[in-house]
Amino acid sequence: MRADPMNSARLAGVALFVLAVASSLRAPAPAPRKPAAGPDPAAILALKGDFERGRELVFESTLQCRACHRFGTGEEKLGPDLGEIGKKYDRAKLLETLLDASKEIDPKYATTLVETTSGAVHSGILVETTADRIVLQDPEKTIPIPLASVRRRVTQQKSIMPDSLLQALTPQEAADLLEFLRGLR
Ligand code: HEC
């Protein structure tokens, strides 16, 4: 099946197949929408966060935010610029975004999955469509794919941003991160 060159292509017929492939590429265990043993939003929101410690978490720890986001300055990244995110969301909404990234997702950041005629499967954000190729972008690389070698393609309303980002943080660290994000305006 040939992919429609328009981004709006929703190849319902192949969706189940590709979703199956996709889930095998993702976390080994089927990820529940909200991890049962994950961070407790109420506990995090009850804590007072520290802006500076939150900044350190983003800029000086192994948290991956900067792989996908710029914070007002620096090169364009895959995800939205967070330089003024504090104007857009309050703490509760920010936390919800971090715990459940796919709940509300701008279609321009939806994940596209492509299976090629050689059987390879790529996923990323669709950043370019021309008459003869499409280009996917993931956090590490740009993936140009000639249309002639696209066997199947489907767009998922699933964010490329992992829902598990806060798992490694203590509730206090999560509160610090929220305080930092809230201060970006
Ligand atoms: C693998 C890439 C990736 C990583 C890592 C990542 N994000 Fe994201 N993030 C995205 C993408 C893509 C979006 C836009 C789609 C969506 O809303 O899920 C997004 C959306 C967001 C939004 C909502 C933006 C808006 O305007 O609605 C916030 C807030 C956010 N990320 C914060 C973070 C923080 C904080 C971290 C680190 C703890 C992080 N992200 C790590 C890719 C990523």
Tokens of 1: 């099946």
- The minimum-distance atom of ligand 1 relative to the CA of 65 is 37
SS3 (DSSP) at 110: strand
Is the predicted pLDDT of residue 121 greater than 70, yes or no?
yes
78 in contact with ligand 1, CB cutoff 6 A: yes
Query: Could you tell which of 55, 69, 93, 104 is best to mutate to test the pocket of ligand 1, judged by most ligand atoms within 8 Å of the CB?
Result: 69
pLDDT over 70, % of the chain: 79
For residues 37 and 53, the model is more confident at: 53
- The minimum-distance atom of ligand 1 relative to the CA of 104 is 17
Domains of the chain (ranges; CATH) run: 12-26+40-182 (2.30.30.100)
Give the model's pLDDT for residue 37: 59
pLDDT over 90, % of the chain: 62
Is the predicted pLDDT of residue 116 greater than 90, yes or no?
yes
pLDDT band of 80, cuts 50, 70, 90: very high
64 in contact with ligand 1, CB cutoff 6 A: yes
For 65-74, what is the mean pLDDT?
94
Q: What average pLDDT does the chain have?
A: 84
Query: Could you tell which of 63, 141, 157, 161 is best to mutate to test the pocket of ligand 1, judged by most ligand atoms within 8 Å of the CB?
Result: 161
What spacing in Å lies between the alpha carbon of 118 and ligand 1's midpoint? 32
pLDDT band of 12, cuts 50, 70, 90: very low
pLDDT band of 173, cuts 50, 70, 90: very high
pLDDT band of 106, cuts 50, 70, 90: confident
Neighbours of 36 (CB within 10 A): 5
What's the pTM?
0.79
Query: What is the C-alpha to C-alpha distance for residues 37 and 35, in angstroms, rounded to an integer?
Result: 6
What spacing in Å lies between the alpha carbon of 86 and ligand 1's midpoint? 13
> Of 36-45, 55-64, 134-143, 157-166, which range is least confident?
36-45
Is the predicted pLDDT of residue 18 greater than 90, yes or no?
no
Tell me the backbone φ, ψ of residue 109, rounded to 5 degrees. -110, 10
- The minimum-distance atom of ligand 1 relative to the CA of 57 is 38
What spacing in Å lies between the alpha carbon of 78 and ligand 1's midpoint? 9
Is the predicted pLDDT of residue 26 greater than 80, yes or no?
no
Is the predicted pLDDT of residue 127 greater than 60, yes or no?
yes
Q: Which long-range contacts (CB under 8 A, 24 or more apart) does 67-75 make?
A: 67/139, 67/140, 68/139, 68/160, 68/161, 71/184, 72/184
